[in-house]
Structure 1
Amino acid sequence: MNSDTLQKLVEKISVESFGQTFDYNATFNTRLRTTGGRYDLRTHNIDINPKMLTEHGVETLQGVIKHELCHYHLHLNNKGYRHRDCDFKKLLAEVGGLRFAPLSSNSSAHAYRYICTECGQPYLRKRKIDLKGYVCSRCHGRLKLQKEAMYK
């Protein structure tokens, strides 16, 4: 799928799901890493992570597009367009958009697993931590490294 096809898909979804036109640009943005898409409040353009299509399929792509279109239409209608707003949550549920984008292959999993020596509370971390500076949040016991690079 190229940018022209994406633009037409976004315009089609906007008319079918929201009953309003989308008058700005929708493009693929390969620099997006941790999000499925982005709506720009200043330019009203939508950027979509291409991995939503290549790794997760058309249905996920459509869910991300609906999510970004919720931001777009609510913002232009002076309603609550943020994730925490009731207007946003209600409209997103009505059109069937995705609340959260699925993880892409480049997102790192938890590489380090620490465990409390007293109560056994596990802690998963992406980065290695200094065990002298941290204690268990439940019982204030000492932490120890249980598994390293197991979850990469």
Structure 2
Amino acid sequence: MDHLNEASLYRLVNHLSQTHFNKPFVHVVRFNSRLRTTGGRYIPAINTIEINPKYALEMDHEELVGIIKHELCHYHLHIEGKGYKHRDRDFKDLLKATGSPRHCQPLPSLKEQSNYIYSCRSCGLTYKRKRRVNTSKYVCGKCRGRLVMREHV
């Protein structure tokens, strides 16, 4: 998917909008590399859809299509003055009607990022953490035993 630029992204979004919603997409869609934990977002104040470019690079085409359809649900409901937020019934119904996912899959590059592995001296429970844990301050959540660092990746 690395050949996808913003012009072809717009064409894809408009095609999906026509195909699944029978309405054109007439506003702005762009890549936003600052998005970290989400595949995309819809900004109601400026009617803009932003897509995380990492999803276009790392995930398959179907995942990207799912993200775009999800954001188009927000977009079309907002334009029509209906409930476009995740908690709204209109939004949930449109997701179901268009076969759009409620959430996107985590990026493969972010899935396994535990840099520290700790275990409890008493019960042996293992904890994977991205950040270092102060073992003199924190204890095992199961048995309150002492934690020791097993691995630093």
With normalisation by structure 1, the TM-score equals 0.83
- The DSSP-based 3-state class of the residue aligned with 1:64 is helix
Match of 1:74 in 2: 77
Distance 1:138 1:84 in 2: 34
Match of 2:86 in 1: 83
Distance 2:85 2:121 in 1: 42
- Whichever residue aligns with residue 131 of structure 2, its letter is R
Alignment of 1:7-22 (within 5 A): 7-22=10-25
Residue 28 of structure 1 contacts residue 47 of structure 1 at CA under 8 Å; is this kept in 2?
yes
Structure 2 unaligned segments of length 5 or more: list them.
Answer: none
Q: Deviations over 1:30-77 (max 9, x none)?
A: 232322112112101011122222221322211110111122123333
Once superposed, what is the RMSD of the aligned Cα atoms? 2.1
Q: Deviations over 1:64-94 (max 9, x none)?
A: 1011112212333344433344443333233
Residue 108 of structure 1 contacts residue 126 of structure 1 at CA under 8 Å; is this kept in 2?
no
Distance 2:87 2:121 in 1: 38
| Match 2:50 to one of 37, 47, 51 | 47
State the 1:29 CA deviation: 2.0
Whether 1:96 aligns to 2:99 is yes
Match of 2:38 in 1: 35
- The DSSP-based 3-state class of the residue aligned with 2:18 is helix
Identity of aligned residues (%): 46
Distance 1:112 1:134 in 2: 14
- Whichever residue aligns with residue 109 of structure 1, its letter is Q
Greater displacement, 81-90 / 10-19: 81-90
Greater displacement, 76-85 / 134-143: 76-85
List, as ranges, runs of 4+ consecutive aligned residues in structure 1 with deviation greater than 6 Å. none
Whether 1:121 aligns to 2:128 is no
- Alignment length (residue pairs): 149
